[in-house]
Amino acid sequence: MLPQEILSLLTLFCVFRASVSVLDEDDDYDLMYVNLDNEIEGPVLGTEETVSCDCQREHTKWDKLFIMLENSQMKENMMLQAMDEILKVDLQTLKAELSQLTTNLAGTLATVVEKVVSHIVSQVDQALLSNSDPAGEAKRLHESEQGKLLEHILLLSHNVSSRLGRLESSWLRRCEPGAQETAFHQDKFSSTRGDDPILNSLWKELQQTRTELKASQKWAAQHLLPAGCETAVLFPMRSKKIYGSVHPTAGMTLRSFTACIWIKVTEALNKTIVFSYGTKLNPYEIQLYLRQESAVLLVGGDQHKLVVKNIVVPGKWIHLCGTWSSENGSASLWLNGELTATTLDIANAHTVPNGGILQIGQEKNGCCVGGGFDEALAFSGKLTGFNMWDRVLSAKEIEAQSGEDACSMRGNIIGWGVTEVLLYGGAQYIS
């Protein structure tokens, strides 16, 4: 018997030859099996003894078919697996590229949209500015010319009125000679005019001219700004969004003050704020407000106030001044340069703190802690000449504040025309 190693090599050679001959031959052959002891067993169907390996034996057609099917199935599985791997890699790559493309497109699109919107907004702003500037300039020019014309008319009316007065006095002296009583002169002059149709006609024209002049003077006085002021603030309606924020020139730590302002209110309710100053701890440090026909000055809280009744006339310019000193709590209110009310023990020994909010036309409830504006407290109308000093002015100084050139005098805490006043919600400067 051959050595075991030679038998193993022979067995492997025979199996190799059989595998190669499958594709070349068509004859049947007996399938051989190798046992675990590396010995060759005989044909499955035969009972004869084992013979030497016949390497020329071939597979049957069915064996070849099965082998080919197995090989094709393996190749198909391998190809499918390879295609699956390739598709997975391609899908991952495509997904990454799509994600990158989406990010780039989103960024580019956002940038483009922002640029387009910014360009459109700038174009609209330029168009509005170009349209509004000529209109605003024309309006300001018209208002300036109108103001100058009204001043000229008012001056002429005063001159004509004085000339007519002198002319009337001259006629009276001519038609009523002698030192007689006034009633007798009037009766005689009336009878004289009755006898003279020309003189009677001139007298009627004179009276009519005087009436027209008085009406024109009243109209001009209502349309012109008072005290020589060039600008005023218009609050067109009551609204919780319409107000003005005042930024004082100096600090508001005060132990005394004088505040003066010109106002023409459209309508005063139970509490219509003219100006208000408050802090976080006390939103009612200083207030000047209207209560229908009354004016109220408040210092240090709602329990410390001075009230003057029957001084507010809607639609008419009035000048209000309020003074206060912590030395003895003295407070006073002035109307058109005349003292109307004074009292003591108003916030005695109190100091108004700095760091609050000063506003015109509104009061912020609670000042800075969740408070808001109340429409019922809003001012509607016009105001100008708002000034404040850190001292109590003398009677002559207050009287001068209501004079013809009062707007040329400014306070050291708030100076009208100098101190910054920012308007919100539709409040606007007029001239």
DSSP string computed for 245-292: EEE-SS---BSEEEEEEEEEES---SSEEEEEEE-SS-TTSEEEEEET
Higher pLDDT, 41 or 149: 149
Position 152 scores a pLDDT of 64
The number of beta carbons lying within 10 Å of the beta carbon of residue 49 is 6
Planar angle of CA 165, 168, 172, nearest 5 degrees:
140
**DSSP structure class, residue 116:** H
**Cβ-Cβ contacts under 8 Å for 348 (sequence gap 6 or more):** 326, 328, 329
**DSSP structure class, residue 31:** P
CA 384 vs. chain centroid, Å, equals 24
Higher pLDDT, 299 or 55: 299
Percent of the chain with pLDDT over 70: 65
Position 25 scores a pLDDT of 47
* pLDDT averaged over every residue in the chain: 77
Residue type at 197 in one-letter notation: P
With a cut of 70, say whether residue 213 has pLDDT above it: yes
With a cut of 70, say whether residue 80 has pLDDT above it: yes
**Residue that is written with structure tokens 């132990």 in the block:** 255
For residues 125 and 127, give the distance between their C-alpha atoms in angstroms, rounded to a whole number.
5
Question: What is the per-residue pLDDT across 358-400, written as a single tens digit (0 to 9) for each?
Answer: 999 998 764 444 456 889 999 999 999 999 999 999 999 999 9
Question: What is the per-residue pLDDT across 256-299, written as a single tens digit (0 to 9) for each?
Answer: 999 999 999 999 999 999 999 999 899 999 999 999 999 999 99
Position 142 scores a pLDDT of 58
Strand partners, 360: 244, 275
With a cut of 80, say whether residue 144 has pLDDT above it: no
Could you tell me the two tokens for 6?
A: 């030679």
Least confident of 64-68, 100-104, 159-163: 159-163
With a cut of 50, say whether residue 69 has pLDDT above it: yes
Could you tell me the two tokens for 361?
A: 């036309």
Higher pLDDT, 246 or 125: 246
Strand (E) or helix (H) holding 83 = helix 61-175
For 101, half-sphere exposure in the C-beta direction (CA atoms, 13 angstrom radius) is: 6
Higher pLDDT, 373 or 309: 309
Which value, to the nearest 10 degrees, does the dihedral of the CA atoms of residues 357, 363, 365, 366 take? 20
**Residue that is written with structure tokens 């009519």 in the block:** 208
With a cut of 60, say whether residue 18 has pLDDT above it: no
- Give yes or no for a contact between 22 and 58, defined as CB atoms under 8 angstroms apart: yes
Average pLDDT over residues 297-317: 94
Higher pLDDT, 285 or 405: 285
For residues 213 and 145, give the distance between their C-alpha atoms in angstroms, rounded to a whole number.
21
**Residue that is written with structure tokens 């070849």 in the block:** 64
Position 220 scores a pLDDT of 62
The number of beta carbons lying within 10 Å of the beta carbon of residue 33 is 9
Q: Are strands 381-389 and 256-265 parallel, antiparallel or unpaired?
A: antiparallel
Position 278 scores a pLDDT of 93
CA-based nearest residue to 427, from 390, 379, 395: 379
For residues 222 and 145, give the distance between their C-alpha atoms in angstroms, rounded to a whole number.
17
CA-CA-CA-CA torsion sign (347, 304, 421, 408)? negative
Q: In what order do the strands lie in the sheet with 420-424?
A: 305-308, 294-299, 286-291, 272-278, 357-360, 243-247, 420-424
Could you tell me the two tokens for 400?
A: 């001068």
Position 40 scores a pLDDT of 45
Could you tell me the two tokens for 108?
A: 């580019």
**Cβ-Cβ contacts under 8 Å for 114 (sequence gap 6 or more):** none
CA 195 vs. chain centroid, Å, equals 74
- Give yes or no for a contact between 243 and 373, defined as CB atoms under 8 angstroms apart: yes
The number of beta carbons lying within 10 Å of the beta carbon of residue 266 is 15
Position 45 scores a pLDDT of 47
